[in-house]
């Protein structure tokens, strides 16, 4: 069997592997294809494409956009995106600037509360990184303020916590428009992560489908076998293609391995072939 991983982060956003290291690791893992889907950026794609040249690995350019649906943050993957599109590049640049302003406020609040954390700490040696709350969690843990990253989220970084600052909201309409403009195959990422019931997920999918959604991430570390089964039948019923990926972040999510997630994830090549046939 041949396997793929259609949801991977590098240090162009909040992963710890460089795009080149991601490609190397994917080849070592024997994967046939991966999609590089960094948050709000395609800046890692060029390096990954180059690194994958003359190797057996197929590199699919992608990104992962965050937007807000009825107060809940949802993520939409854009696979096969035209990462050279100037409108896309400009819009992503603006999104990252917005993110930067939010990070500054979170950092300032933490510093005012006495946490000894700097912007350099957050960047952690990757100057071009897109800083997310995962970076805050890593630094809080490394500096001994929290015992692990999930505690950092629970105590300080999650919605409702003292240092949580909401991101300026991107609407699903705008996110879908951006992805469709750049020729992407849009996929709703990790539906089980939103604490919605299946009926609400379906409602969300109907809205996104009307905006051009084509896929649903059925296989992801956030859904167990039973949930993936439910999602698969929902995808088929709504005419969406099932996809899957590990959401690999290197040592920013130490329990997640490329291609296999927490160990049992397997995304067969046939799913990728279905996406290609539908593009």
Site for Zn ion, rule CB under 5 A: 14
Site membership for ligand AMP, residue 134 (CB under 6 A): yes
Site membership for ligand AMP, residue 171 (CB under 6 A): no
φ and ψ at residue 114, rounded to 5 degrees: 100, 5
How many CA atoms lie less than 13 Å away from 158 in the CB half-sphere?
Answer: 7
Per-position x/- string for 231-250, each x denoting binding to Fe ion as judged by CB under 5 A, each - no binding: ----------------x---
Measured from the CB of residue 278, what is the shortest distance to Zn ion in angstroms?
Answer: 26
Measured from the CB of residue 66, what is the shortest distance to ligand AMP in angstroms?
Answer: 5
| The one among 83, 153, 163, 185 contacting ligand AMP by CB under 6 A | 153
| The one among 16, 18, 42, 132 contacting ligand AMP by CB under 6 A | 132
Q: Answer for the pair 210, 236: CB distance below 8 angstroms, yes or no.
A: no
In sequence order, the 6+-apart residues with CB closer than 8 A to the CB of 106 are: 133, 136, 163, 164, 165
Per-residue three-class SS string for 71-85: CEEEEEEEECCCCCC
* Token pair 């197929």: residue: 58
Binding partner at 66 among Fe ion, ligand AMP, Zn ion, none, C-beta below 5 to 8 Å by kind: ligand AMP
**Region of 22-30, 85-93, 110-118, 129-137 interacting with ligand AMP (CB under 6 A):** 129-137
- How many H helices and E strands in the chain? 10, 8
Which residue is nearest to ligand AMP, using beta carbons?
132
- CA 219, 221, 222, 227 dihedral sign is positive
Q: Answer for the pair 209, 184: CB distance below 8 angstroms, yes or no.
A: no
| The one among 84, 118, 158, 224 contacting ligand AMP by CB under 6 A | 158
Site membership for ligand AMP, residue 251 (CB under 6 A): no
Helix, strand and coil percent figures for the chain, each rounded to 5? 45, 20, 40
For the segment 54-113, give every residue that binds ligand AMP (CB under 6 A). Answer: 66
Binding partner at 210 among Fe ion, ligand AMP, Zn ion, none, C-beta below 5 to 8 Å by kind: none
Residues within the interface to Fe ion (CB under 5 A): 64, 75, 189, 247
Residues within the interface to ligand AMP (CB under 6 A): 14, 66, 132-134, 149-150, 153, 158
């Amino acid at each position: 069997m041949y396997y793929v991983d259609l949801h991977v982060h590098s240090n162009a956003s909040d992963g710890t592997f460089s795009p080149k290291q991601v490609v190397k690791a994917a080849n070592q893992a024997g994967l046939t294809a991966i999609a590089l889907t960094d948050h709000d950026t395609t800046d890692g794609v060029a390096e990954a494409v180059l690194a994958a040249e003359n190797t057996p690995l197929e590199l699919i350019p992608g990104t992962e956009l965050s937007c807000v649906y009825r107060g809940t943050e949802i993520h939409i993957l854009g696979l096969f995106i035209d990462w050279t599109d100037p409108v896309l590049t400009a819009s992503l640049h603006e999104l990252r600037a917005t993110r930067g302003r939010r990070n500054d406020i979170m950092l300032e609040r933490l510093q005012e509360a006495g946490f000894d954390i700097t912007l350099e700490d957050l960047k952690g040696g990757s100057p071009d990184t897109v800083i997310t709350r995962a970076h805050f969690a890593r630094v809080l843990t490394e500096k001994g303020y929290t015992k692990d990253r999930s505690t950092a989220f629970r105590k300080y970084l999650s919605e409702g916590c003292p240092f949580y600052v909401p991101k300026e909201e991107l609407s699903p309409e705008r996110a879908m428009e951006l992805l469709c403009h750049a020729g992407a195959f849009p996929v709703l990422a990790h539906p089980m992560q939103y604490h919605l019931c299946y009926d609400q997920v379906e409602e969300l999918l109907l809205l996104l489908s009307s905006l051009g959604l084509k896929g649903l991430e059925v296989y992801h570390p956030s859904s167990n076998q039973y949930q993936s089964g439910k999602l698969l039948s929902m995808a088929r019923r709504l005419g969406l293609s099932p996809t899957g990926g590990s959401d690999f972040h290197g040592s920013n999510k130490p329990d997640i391995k490329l291609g296999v997630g927490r160990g049992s994830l397997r995304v067969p090549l046939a799913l990728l072939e279905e996406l290609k046939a539908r593009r």
